[in-house]
Structure 1
Amino acid sequence: MTNTNHRVVQWATGNIGLKALRGIIEHPSMTLAGVHVYDPNKVGRDAGELCGLDTVGVAATGKLEDVLTSGADCVLYMPRVFDLDDVCRLLESGANVVATCGVFHHPPSMDPAVRDRVEAACRAGGTSVHSTGSSPGFISEAVPLVLTSIQRRLDKIIIDEYADLSRRNSPEMLFDLMGFGRDLAPFEQFRADYLGASFGPSLRLIADAVGLPLDEVVASGELATTPRELTIAAGTQKAGSVAGQRITITGLRGGRELITFRATWYTTTDLDATWDLGDTGWHIDIQGDAPLDVTLRMPISLEQMAETTPAYTANRAVNLVEAVCAAPPGIRSVLELPLSTPTFS
């Protein structure tokens, strides 16, 4: 693949979007074609200013029409909420799309009506669309596929994700959205189902790739409490309140667990549960005729997590722009793209 200068639009400027925006501006073979924002206070501001760089002469817009007429080769699509109409308009206009939402990880398991509409938009614009990120994406697809490449028999894959949230100063996220600090109650299944919808497509993708398609994907969750009062960055938790949660998504084949993704998030290691609590990062266990036990740690302090972790998602999206632009029209999974190789200046 030859490096070509691509005109790229950054869509949305949250923590991950701002990291991606900076990546586009600093990339040696990309030109920033535009920035789409949702906050009215950001409209009209220079893109460089938004992400802490010098001005670059590109003003942020809140209008889809401005993006459609920007001449973009690719849009890095990173909103909080996926909008099918917007994505199809972008694809029809001739702009490829790299998204950090999990809609496109496994095309065969997508809602057929959504898949057909997106495929039609890709044909109309001669474009492709791809979902990526760190989790799901890097850890649930790219890494397991590499590790299975030295197997001739695969018995099981277990992917563990760990997150110590004790220094995350985000009360709304931890207490309101995730439910930490509440009294113990039955696990709310919708939380497991939400994560299952995000990671299930990746598990199916791996299984399809190795010739062992899954029969079903199931999701479940567990809660754990702490026996003591806690003071964490987000606030105070009383003794006996929820301080750990573990959600397990399992892909079954022939009634047997073949691929499992398990997310364990906690605000203290002092829990009334016998869970393995790894450092923030991932662990992958490959069981087969060439077994592997792999740990990927984030070697940064908990205080640095909030400012550093956006790179794990944003950078992979930036690095895949060239491959997605070169791909045939349609929804493209990681199996249909070359290895994501970064280009440095």
Structure 2
Amino acid sequence: MISTLVWGTGNVGRAAIRAVTAHPGLELSGVLVNNLAKVGRDAGELAGLDTQLGVAASNDIDAALAARPRAVVYAASGDIRPDDALADIERALRAGAVVVTPALYALYDHRNAPEDMRQRVTAAIADGGGSLFVSGVDPGWGNDVLPLLISGLGSTVDVVRCQEIFDYTTYDQPDSVRYLVGMGQPLDYQPPMLAPTIPTMVWGGQIRLIARGLGVALTDIREVVERRPLEASVDTKLMGKFDAGTQGAVRFEVQGIVDGTPRIVIEHVTRIHPSCAPDWPQPPSGAGAHRVIIEGRPNIEVTVQATDEDGNHSAGGNATAVGRLVNAIDWLAAAEPGLYDALDVPLPYGTLGRNQP
């Protein structure tokens, strides 16, 4: 069994605890939290399970890493604390752990990551003998291995389009929704996540991974952003009221340009209420979906909907992204120490009859 520490118990960390507990080759050996109110609580309770797992949450990072876990699922956010997240991950790598995380956007495609970041990570790997695999929670597999898999089913491929279509009403992250993405803000407010160059920083690595998988050279990466106001005020269960006239929907594309034409596109369509921007792409049902469209011969379209935590589409998306990371741990533990990406790490088959946490 591979001893595995889950670092963080938010939206991603809850799913990580459940995934580690269900995996037949992993053993949940520790849980790290930042919130003092969570210290001492059982991991099963924090993960929303109806059973105790016998692992109490701690905020003692030194002690948790001194126990030498073989793997760390780093589930703490890197959205507004990227430097802290990088420093945490370096500590885990120097402790000799295999680390999987969605927190470091720049390392989705580590070959094109900033050199100083890459050097810090590779130095930590060399010192400790660990490994690092970074993949997204938007979800990563929907923007790398899934479109590449589907592209191999056709005769010709003209455009690869990856879509996330999501109603943020079900997403229990008020700061991210209101301030990073700008929902409920005046349209003259500049959401940090939509500022020029930021979408490319976050999703450009996945564009480059797809291009590398398809064997094409990108000539540019472009961004297109459109925002729509709410026509009427709406009340949400998790995040309160959003006023008419404020941002109610956003649609953006990160476009991989090949010979002057957008050929690889990652598109996000996000709303705070289904009534906003009804002409934009909609999920087939519920609050969200991920879709891959291969324009070519034949045209191929695959839509994936996942739910977890009593039917929540946001939780379902997180769970599948976390599953991709957690299910990579045993492969990484057997591989040579190193820095890996989604094209390096195979996607294993599932296992019938896994433990049900």
Equivalent residue in structure 1 for 2:114, among 111, 114, 117 = 111
Between 1:263-272 and 1:202-211, the stretch displaced more is 263-272
Answer yes or no: is the 8 Å Cα contact 1:187–1:222 preserved in 2.
no
Q: How many pairs are equivalent?
A: 341
Q: State the identity as a percent.
A: 27
1:217 aligns with 2:221: yes
Alignment match of 2:129 (pick from 126, 131, 135): 126
Paired residues of 1:136 and 1:198 also in contact (CA < 8 A): no
SS of the residue aligned with 2:281?
A: coil
Q: Secondary structure at the match of 2:37?
A: coil
By how many angstroms is 1:39 displaced? 1.2
RMSD, matched Cα = 2.7
| 1:256 pairs with 2:261 | yes
Distance 1:57 1:8 in 2: 14
1:168: Cα distance to partner? 4.9
Q: Secondary structure at the match of 1:44?
A: coil
Structure-2 change in CA distance of 1:56 and 1:219 (3 Å): same
| Residue 206 (structure 1) shift | 0.9
What are the residue-to-residue correspondences of 1:41-80 with 2, within 5 Å?
41-51=37-47, 52-80=49-77
Q: Which residue does the alignment assign to 2:14?
A: 18
**How far is 1:295 from its partner?**
2.1
Amino acid at match of 2:330: E
Mapped partners of 2:14, 2:108: distance in 1: 23
CA distance in 1, matches of 2:157, 2:2: 40
CA distance in 1, matches of 2:241, 2:59: 38
User: Corresponding residue for 1:143?
Assistant: 146
CA contact 1:167–1:302 (8 Å) conserved in 2:
no
Aligned counterparts of 1:210 and 1:337: Cα–Cα separation in 2: 17
1:193-220 per-position Cα deviation (integer Å, ceiling 9, x unaligned): 3332121101101101211022222223
Q: For 1:188 and 1:176, how far apart are their aligned partners in 2?
A: 6
SS at match of 2:150: helix
Does the 8 Å contact 1:319/1:341 carry over to 2?
Answer: no
Amino acid at match of 1:6: I
> C-alpha displacement at 1:300, in angstroms?
8.2
User: Contact 2:98/2:130 (CA < 8 Å) preserved in 1?
Assistant: yes
In structure 1, what is the Cα distance between the partners aligned to 2:243 and 2:234?
Answer: 6
**Cα shift at 1:42:** 2.2
Deviates more, 1:46-55 or 1:27-36: 46-55
1:244 has 2:249 as partner:
yes
- Cα distance in 1 for partners of 2:215, 2:185 equals 43
Q: For the structure 1 residues 30 and 289, does the alpha-carbon distance in structure 2 shift closer, same or farther, using more than 3 Å as the test?
A: same
Letter in 2 for 1:121: A
Q: Which moved more, 1:51-60 or 1:123-132?
A: 51-60
Contact 1:214 1:252 in 2 (8 A): yes
Name the structure 2 match of 1:30.
26
1:315 alignment counterpart:
323
2:88 to 86, 89, 95: 86
